[in-house]
Amino acid sequence: MSILRKVGVVSAMTAVSRVFGLVREIVMAHFFGTSAIQSAFVIAFRIPNLFRRLFGEGALGAAFIPVFAEIERTEGPERAQLFLSRILGILVCVLALLVGLGIAATYAVQFAAEPGGRWDVAMPLTRIMLPYALFICVAAIVSAVLNVRDRFAVPSLTPVILNLCWIGALVGVCPFLDSAAAQINVVCWGILFAGLAQICFQLPALRAVGYRLRFTFTGWRTSPYVRQVLLQMGPASLGIALAQINICIDGWLAYYGAPWAPSALEYADRIIYLPLGLFGTAFATVLLPTFSKQAAAADRAALLATLERSMRNLLVLMAPMALGLIALAAPIVALLYQRGAFDAQSTLWTARAVTAYALGLIAFSSAKTVIPVFYAHKDLKTPVKVAAWCILGNFLLNLASVLFLPEGWRHVGIALSTVLNSFANTGILLAILWRRGLRPNLVALAWSAIRAFLAATLMGLAVWAAHTWLATRGFSLFLTVPCAIALGGVLYLLLARLLVPAELRELLADLPLRRRR
């Protein structure tokens, strides 16, 4: 399969998950709104998600995949199965210990907290959902094995299980309960059940590729491969920790700039993450096992060709999305959010943030393409070092935005600093690859980018004009926004045939539009 065909599979499955996730959020808003118990739930759910980032598809996944691909290629499936079993055994032991300590800590916090206060509400919910961390991390390692074996559909569809269990708890049980506390408890138990279901859902696919879900609790101390993964996890964990600290600092500075700013940035981020999750994250999911196999085979030419083709494909895909979001930022925000407490002023603030974030689609997705090259070579330290310096620059730009920009624009400065930070991060990593001998044709990539952005800019102007023309004639957003988006898609394809014909042919050749010999 070509890279883009694999990405298409991941994107399609991710799109299904995003749709169910949107339904889930709509139903959650119906039952709990922005109440205190909803806030307590958000705090409680954040903790198992942190474990997932560290021990699931985050640090452990990044360290696990290249080593697993190398063992499978050089020593065969039996040794790879033993390695997998040992990693799962260590993972279960460590997470079981951490979950037990976390549950004990919730009792301590609840004992010290004010009776009936917010922590007194959040801690019981945390206790229910903490074991979810163990289940979802095991499911993430199973997904990593399937990705290495070029099985992307089942792992990408697995998050739908969480959304289905969540929606089932909300719709099937909550209407029959009297109190919000009982309803939110049911949601927590539904999430815990979903973690186990996500493992079971992938087991047939795991057996189909020749592996079993086994847990080995001995021999890992003498295994050089296990030690290699554990040692490489450190830098990746530090990188994730730095990213989370950066997110927290951004939120605190935004709140200092204006009380509404964190909300506007969060709403804008959800809009930006839809195309980023469909394509940028899909590319990262596919590229890490692909790069790992090529690095294990010492095939630098194939790795470089994969990197160049992926970056060209992303440019052609992301340029129209970025310019389209800039052109339709306000109508899209109004269509999705403007109702109830979310008024026209909130739409204006959020639309400004969407506009600032939009060009970041290129930067964010490019970073997700370049970083897996380092992970594939088992170099998890370099991306962390680069990220640390970029985070420092991001902090300084955020601080300048809060101190010197007008109130209605401070959050825009924070969004722009995030985009500039990501561009700088990608540029530095590409320079390091260049110094190491992996030299993509940057001139050709830049020329492709210029022509793709020209086509996208012309499309954006036409989309804005079409929406404005329809809106002035009294049509609702439910008609004007979809019509403008449809027009933009057709127009960009026509412009791309004129301005980026080779890149468009390459992209379309990779799509599974028809069976070929």
Q: According to the model, what pLDDT value does residue 318 have?
A: 86
Residue whose C-alpha is closest to residue 40's, from 112, 105, 115, 119:
119
Q: Which residue in 314, 283, 306, 281 sits closest to 438, CA to CA?
A: 306
pLDDT at 490: 92
Residue 419 and residue 357 in contact, taking contact as beta carbons nearer than 8 Å: yes
pLDDT value at position 9? 63
Contacts of 246 by beta carbon, 8 Å cutoff, 6+ apart: 391, 394, 395
Q: How far apart are CA 96 and CA 138, in angstroms?
A: 12
CA distance 389 to 488: 38
CB 95 within 8 A of CB 131: no
The pLDDT score that the predictor gives to residue 514 is: 39
| Terminal-residue alpha carbon distance, the chain | 13
The pLDDT assigned to 242 comes to 64
| pLDDT tens track, the chain, 517 positions | 455 566 566 666 767 777 787 677 667 767 765 456 765 776 677 777 777 766 656 667 667 777 888 888 888 888 888 888 888 888 888 889 988 998 998 888 878 777 766 667 778 888 998 999 889 888 988 888 887 887 777 887 888 899 899 999 989 988 888 888 888 899 999 999 999 999 999 999 999 988 888 888 887 777 787 877 777 676 666 666 666 566 656 666 776 677 667 667 767 777 887 777 666 666 666 666 667 777 777 777 877 877 888 788 788 888 899 999 999 999 988 887 776 556 788 788 889 989 999 988 888 888 878 888 887 777 777 887 888 888 888 888 888 888 888 888 888 888 888 888 888 988 899 889 888 888 888 888 888 889 989 999 999 999 999 999 998 888 888 899 999 999 998 999 899 888 888 877 877 665 544 334 3
Question: Which pLDDT does position 194 carry in this prediction?
Answer: 92
The angle formed by the CA atoms of residues 157, 160 and 161, to the nearest 5 degrees, is 110
